[in-house]
A and B are shown apart, each in its own frame.
Chain A
Amino acid sequence: MKFLPLILRNLARNKLRTALTGGAIGLAVLLVCFFLTMPAGIDVFLSQIASNVRISVHHKGGLVYQMPFAYVNKIRAVPGVVGADGVTWFGGAFEEEGHVTFPSFAIEPEHVAAVWPDYRIDQIALERFRSHRDGAIVGRQTMEKYGWRVGQEVTLRSTVWPVALTFRIVGEIPNARAPLFWFQREYLAQAMRARGVSLDIVGIVWVRVADPALVDGVMARFDAMFRNSAAETSAETEKSFFTSFFGSLQGFVTIILLVTGLVALCVLCIAANTASMAVRERAREIAILRAIGFGRRLIFTTLVAESTILATLAGGSGALLTYAFTAAVKTTTGGWNTELGPLSGFLVSPGIVAQGVGLAVVVGLVAGIAPAYGAARKPVATTLREIF
């Protein structure tokens, strides 16, 4: 490519402008690469927190409706079910400050091990949980956040039930991602009974199935079982449960992709502006080159190559930078960082780098085409006349 030195020399002629345009393209590609990690990142995040063999059964009308507690035993009897636990939303808040950052649930302690074996809760802690009526086991994240330790007492006032309960923390859920606060269903039932109300409803039944292959059949079975009853149910896997729970995430992803497109468009305008400025201020030189025999196609090609080379180099750097950055975050945090939360799972893959570079190439090409065409199109006699 004997014209390359000429192209590079032209790029270097206005270094500040080239640097600024290159910077804008690099930054935009960097942003776009980050944005593109989101759909895959959310998926990775959901697979990390959710299991495919765990099913949630809840009221068909939504999570605000309750189901009869008797459903739990019926569910347990279905073939393929390894364990089922009835979970009821407590909505505990601190007596003093109110607001908390963790969800609290009344659950059945004797079924925790069967339904959540992947949480790896300590056997001794589970035993204590079963044997202490006021016992609570709490996610590590929450323990660390409030500086709690095992043996400590915590009082929460329910925002759902007309009670305030004092719990003794008997163990930890050793999962950095679980902020959960679990306590005995029976503890809540007793408190309600003291108020003359019997607790015979449940919010969600979490079910673990022996094998992913059984999941669809079992879910269909549940929904069939309670069809035409007072409380029809809807079953879904934990992953899809969280997906719909984070349903707004999908809208978020759409917006992000929209913004990505706008960023790309914006940087295209910047690159096109640079290209047309470069062509305009070089009108005389281009006319001379054409006069001495540089053909229209050659002029067009070298000008488009100029903007494409700039965009590709800048975009490539931006893409590689994000790649290196997210890879570094992953290795230093071991895949999960409390500060970054789900973001730490958002990795720039080689595929995304390729997309980023591809975007840069397209930006360079498209930005260069119009000015280059303008420079090559006019008859050379006309251009010469305009400048001499």
Chain B
Amino acid sequence: MSPCREQTRRRPVAEPLITLRDVSRWYRRGVDVVHALEHVSLAIEGGVFAALMGPSGSGKSTLLNLLSGIDRPSAGEVWVAGRRLNDLSEDELAHWRSRHVGLIFQSYNLIPVLSAQENVELPLLLTAFGRGERTRRAATALRVVDLAPRARHVPSELSGGEQQRVAIARAIVADPDLIIADEPTGDLDARSADEVLAILRDLSRELAKTVVMVTHDPRARRWVDVVFHLDKGVLLGTEGNDALARAPAHGGVT
């Protein structure tokens, strides 16, 4: 990997990678209005590994969708990597995501008819890279998650943990600033979960990626720099060293 940190470098050190200012998201469900998020403000520095925890229905996925430009807030501002996401259209957001965000879902992340290598290459199809460069970069990403030997296997030939690692390789292949994972270990056994968490931590430590992950797994606390607690759409508090979330990435705790 050759981390392209230009975006980070251009930004003043004091400015976090992610800033939410008084963000609310509500849904109209018939005559009712569901408040999925209410007046959430937070900041996450570049290179931090953050966890988002809270009971089911507390608005974790909603928050992740706002951070990753999949959804837009009903009120408030979402800033990521110097960009105000509120202003972007659905199509502009899609393009922005392809450049700046790597996404990992709970399971079934991969296209079953494509090999691991081809799955990892998918985001690169949206870039101007030629075929050789795409192949090279995908191979590198697979090496990062230690799956180079399985490049030609299709998802059904891989274990759940291996599939999640392929998904991680796909999330980092286009060298995004931000990696977003919604319960990435939810369907994994303890050992595979630890492998996935270790990779995500290494991405933040060694490649200075910002990783935001939703998790229910209490063991995840060991791996992350900071935990945000959500309940009923409200940000209850931040666990871990708050200074840590604001400090340079490499000074984190274990």
Contacts and interface: CB of A to CB of B under 8 A. Distances in A.
A70 B97 CA distance: 96
A388 B105 contact: yes
A292 B90 contact: no
Nearest to B170: A292
B95 A293 contact: yes
A290 B94 contact: yes
Do most interface residues of chain A lie in helix, strand or loop, or is the interface mixed? helix
Interface in B155-191: 170, 182
B16 interface: no
Contacts of B131: 2
Contacts of A6: 111, 114, 118, 125
A288 B122 CA distance: 11
Interface string B217-233: 00000000000000000
A60 interface: no
B172 to A, nearest CB: 12
A289 interface: yes
B94 A380 contact: yes
Given A292-B103, A388-B105, A5 B98 contact: no
Interface string A292-327: 111111100000000000000000000000000000
Interface in B189-203: none
Contacts, number: 73
Contact of B94 (A5, A288, A296, A388): A296
A99 interface: no
Contacts of A381: 65, 70-71
Nearest to B113: A9
B125 A291 contact: no
A381 B123 CA distance: 18
A384 B106 contact: no
A285 B111 contact: yes
Interface in A370-388: 379-381, 384-385, 388
Interface in B96-126: 96-99, 101-103, 105-106, 108-109, 111-114, 118, 122-123, 125-126
Interface of A: 2-3, 5-6, 9-10, 12-13, 284-285, 288-298, 379-381, 384-385, 388
9 contacts: A5-B118, A9-B114, A290-B94, A291-B97, A292-B170, A295-B94, A379-B90, A384-B105, A388-B61
The 10 closest A-B pairs by CB, nearest first: A293-B98, A381-B71, A9-B113, A293-B97, A295-B94, A13-B113, A381-B70, A285-B111, A381-B65, A291-B103
